[in-house]
């Protein structure tokens, strides 16, 4: 997958199958910032509204109730229009996630 997918209002059964309620949460105030996704991330938006623009791509808008998948390796600019609160799940083990972040930080 090379682009962001937004699933509007997924069913409760889908959320339960993914075990979304057990995922960690993250919050961000209204802001604009660059981001790189070292691994695929799936996020369920609990509150807020965002526009994310992949580098060289088309802006994608999502908000409360959306299930969003961000592809591994994508760089983008976030615009948090309303304070964001989300559940999120990253691909891979914690060790792999740490390795990818160190590699990214060192630009290896």
Render pLDDT for 9-48 as a digit per residue (tens, 0 to 9).
999 999 999 999 999 999 999 999 999 998 999 999 999 9
pTM of this prediction? Answer: 0.85
Buried b (16+ CB within 10 A) or exposed e, 26-63: eeeeeeeeeeebbebbbbbbeebbbbbebeeeeebebb
The answer to whether residue 105 scores a pLDDT higher than 60 is: yes
Between 42 and 98, residue with greater pLDDT: 42
The first and second tokens of residue 39, run together, are 């691994």
Mean pLDDT in residue range 85-108: 78
The answer to whether residue 67 scores a pLDDT higher than 80 is: yes
Which CATH code for domain 5-106? 2.60.120.10
């Amino acid at each position: 997958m090379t682009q962001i997918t937004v699933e509007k209002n997924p069913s409760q059964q889908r959320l339960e199958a993914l075990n979304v309620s057990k995922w960690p949460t993250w919050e961000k105030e209204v802001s604009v910032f660059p981001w790189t996704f070292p691994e695929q991330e799936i996020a369920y938006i609990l509150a807020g509204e965002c526009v994310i623009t992949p580098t060289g791509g088309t802006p994608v808008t999502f908000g409360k109730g959306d299930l969003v998948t961000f592809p591994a390796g994508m760089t983008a600019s976030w615009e948090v229009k309303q304070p964001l609160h989300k559940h999120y799940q990253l691909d891979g083990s914690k060790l792999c996630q740490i390795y990818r972040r160190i590699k990214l930080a060192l630009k290896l």
